[in-house]
């Protein structure tokens, strides 16, 4: 086995997944391929009701997985709605870990303009939230300056620390392993040791990947797609995360970047992502055993 493959196994250990409330029906099938206790992030979309989100959170818990519900700050109408959601999540055992995002609306519908304002509300501590994840932007944000992104990251982490809540950072979906490694090095250079999850696309059609990248302001050109293991000339083709993960493992091995894992954006393909990850790790494990066996045979000969 190559060092690169060993690194990709380590990077995939304790991976996490993302799903929407609409993926609940496929969760039972997917859970057969997902290790018990795996973190499953649950999005907070504008076309979903609170009831749908809570039912999905309950399904995640019932499947023996760790629910990580998202909260979209700018979609909250006020403290009463936030409190109600936290109460409902608590009732189904899904309030220990949350993920906070600003949200898509350009204008907040209530008093929370960003994730920081939700952290500062005091309600998270009241409901016993143990860990909060926030977003990282290795390839920038189309509407927010780099200086503002760094300031927001540090302020949110500091606020969580003051509240006695553990933190983690999950990046937006990434295609450029080198850019991600450089960004994580910058994070560590700022004295931030919090665990980081690198956002990777699960198995999906290339056309869909490009559409998602454009929505995030990521320029996925032909060169970048080639590095990712896909081709802009084959938009009807499928892509897997293998090349990106192996490149990322190789990049990360060059520096001591601390606790770094993978988070899969599933694009509605929850079962496909779970099955792919299971099979990839199983294949890597078999290759590891084969190489180790060869080593033992060589030792016997000599």
pLDDT digit string, tens, across residues 159-198: 999 999 999 999 998 888 889 999 999 999 999 999 999 9
Q: How many residues does the chain have?
A: 302
Q: Decide if pLDDT at 28 tops 80.
A: yes
pTM over 0.85: yes
Contact in structure between 139 and 172 (CB atoms under 8 Å): yes
80-94, 149-163, 174-188, 213-227: lowest mean pLDDT where?
213-227
- Is residue 1 over pLDDT 50? no
Give the pLDDT of residue 297.
Answer: 46
Tell me 21's DSSP state.
G
Q: How many other C-beta atoms lie within 10 A of the C-beta of residue 30?
A: 23
- Comparing 114-123, 193-202, 213-222, the range with the smallest average pLDDT is 213-222
Tell me the average pLDDT across 275-291.
Answer: 75
On whether the CB atoms of residues 46 and 53 are closer than 8 A, the answer is no
Cα–Cα nearest to 238, from 261, 266, 213, 209: 209
Which is it for the CA torsion 118, 265, 287, 279, positive or negative?
positive
Band (pLDDT 50/70/90 cuts) for residue 302 is very low
Task: Report the share of the chain in percent with pLDDT over 70.
Answer: 81
The predicted pLDDT at position 223 comes to 52
Phi, psi of 104, rounded to the nearest 5 degrees: -75, -35
Query: How high is the pLDDT of residue 139?
Result: 85
Asked which of 27-31, 51-55, 108-112, 284-288 is least confident by mean pLDDT, the reply is 284-288
Integer-rounded Cα Rg, in Å, for the chain is: 20
Q: Band of the pLDDT at 4, cuts 50, 70, 90?
A: very low
User: Encoding tokens for residue 232?
Assistant: 């802009």
The percentage of the chain sitting over the pLDDT mark of 90, rounded to a whole number, equals 65
Q: Is 103 left (phi over 0), alpha (psi -120 to 50) or beta?
A: left
Whether the predicted pLDDT of 291 surpasses 50: no
> b/e per residue, 61-85, with b = 16+ CB within 10 A?
bebebbbbbbbbbbbbeeeeebeeb
Structural domains of the chain sorted by starting position, each given as residue range(s) with its CATH number in brackets: 3-291 (3.20.20.220)
Nearest to 207 by CA among 242, 238, 240: 238
| Largest distance between two CA atoms of the chain | 73
Query: 62 CB contacts (<8 Å, ≥6 apart)?
Result: none
Distance CA 124, CA 18 (A): 22
For range 294-299, the mean pLDDT? 50
Count the neighbouring beta carbons within 10 Å of the beta carbon of residue 295: 10
């Amino acid at each position: 086995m190559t060092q690169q493959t060993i690194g990709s196994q380590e990077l995939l250990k304790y991976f996490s997944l993302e799903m929407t409330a609409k993926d609940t029906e496929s969760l039972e099938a997917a859970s057969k391929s997902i290790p018990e206790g795996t973190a499953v992030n649950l999005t907070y979309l504008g076309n979903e009701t609170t009831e749908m989100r809570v039912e999905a959170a309950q399904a995640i818990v019932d499947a023996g997985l760790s629910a990580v519900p998202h909260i979209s700050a700018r979609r909250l109408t006020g403290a009463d709605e936030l409190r109600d959601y936290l109460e409902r999540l608590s009732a189904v055992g899904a309030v220990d870990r949350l993920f906070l995002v600003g949200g898509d609306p350009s204008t907040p519908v209530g008093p929370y303009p960003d994730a920081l304002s939700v952290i500062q509300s005091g309600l998270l501590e009241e409901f016993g939230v143990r860990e909060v994840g926030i977003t990282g932007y290795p390839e920038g944000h189309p509407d927010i300056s780099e200086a503002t992104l760094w300031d927001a990251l540090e302020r949110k982490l500091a606020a969580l620390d003051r509240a006695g809540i553990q933190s983690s950072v999950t990046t937006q979906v990434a295609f450029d392993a080198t850019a991600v490694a450089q960004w994580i090095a910058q994070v560590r250079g700022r004295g931030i040791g919090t665990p980081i999850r690198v956002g990777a696309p699960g198995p999906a059609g290339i056309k869909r990947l490009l559409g998602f990248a454009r929505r995030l302001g990521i320029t996925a050109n032909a060169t970048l797609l080639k590095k990712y293991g896909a081709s802009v000339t084959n938009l009807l083709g499928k892509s897997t995360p293998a090349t990106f993960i192996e490149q990322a493992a190789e990049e990360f091995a060059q520096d001591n970047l601390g606790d770094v894992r993978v988070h899969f954006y599933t694009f509605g393909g929850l079962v496909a992502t779970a099955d792919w990850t299971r099979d990839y790790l199983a294949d890597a494990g078999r290759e590891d055993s084969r190489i180790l066996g060869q080593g033992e045979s060589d030792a016997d000969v000599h």
